[in-house]
Amino acid sequence: MASEISGRVRRLKWHELGPFTVFDVETTGMSPVGDRIVELAALRVDTDGSEREFHTLINPGRPIPPGVISVHHITDDMVIDAPHFSTVGKMFLDFAAGSTLVAHNARFDLGFLQESLARCGLPLWAGKTIDTVRLVRKTHPGLPSYRLQSLRAYFHLESTDKMQAHRADSDVRWTMQVLETALTKALNMQQ
């Protein structure tokens, strides 16, 4: 896609296809019905390229199993004073309003989001959603793995000492970089 400006063609930038809200959840387990969200992070990029962040721990109202703590390192002590999803859900919907939700393996994250919204009597997400796993499979077919940490290594994604896998705020940053890489390649393929 390109647009005509003063008689010359200008390449569209990936974020101009947005706005996008990349989000990620960490949970007490794998079941959206039986488990709960303990962390929600999002990064919204608007069509002008500006970014806004959303991040909160969430009190799940139940203990976090030790096996799950060993994955994301979020403990009961960390969430004891955090808000419940009933408070966070409306704020997140307002934050993401008018954008396309993006997640890596979106079925998991969107399943937890929708179930949590329904449980609290909040409206379900009715907007568009992009799964970066499916997108990258189309733009970069044949990679040995499409797990986020594998793509992080393959694409040499930016990282800092504070970023750690399986924490929502870090995973959102890496997913945003994967989205940018895939959409930029898709746009260049259309030139």
The answer to whether the pTM exceeds 0.95 is: no
- The pLDDT tens digits for 116-167 are 999 999 999 999 999 999 999 999 999 999 999 999 999 988 877 676 777 8
- The pLDDT tens digits for 80-116 are 999 999 999 999 999 999 999 999 999 999 999 999 9
| Contact (CB, 8 A) for 5 and 11 | no
Q: Higher confidence at residue 19 or residue 12? A: 19
User: Radius of gyration (Cα) for the chain, nearest Å?
Assistant: 17
In the chain, where the domains are located: 14-189
CA atoms within 13 Å, Cβ hemisphere of 186: 18
Active site residue 166: yes
Q: Tell me the CATH number for domain 14-189.
A: 3.30.420.10
What count of other Cβ atoms lies within 10 Å of the Cβ of residue 189?
9
Instruction: Enumerate residues 6+ apart whose C-beta is below 8 A from 8.
Output: none
Nearest alpha carbon to residue 60 among 42, 43, 82, 41 = 82
Extract the tokens encoding 178. Answer: 């994967």
Q: Which of 55, 84, 140, 166 is catalytic?
A: 166
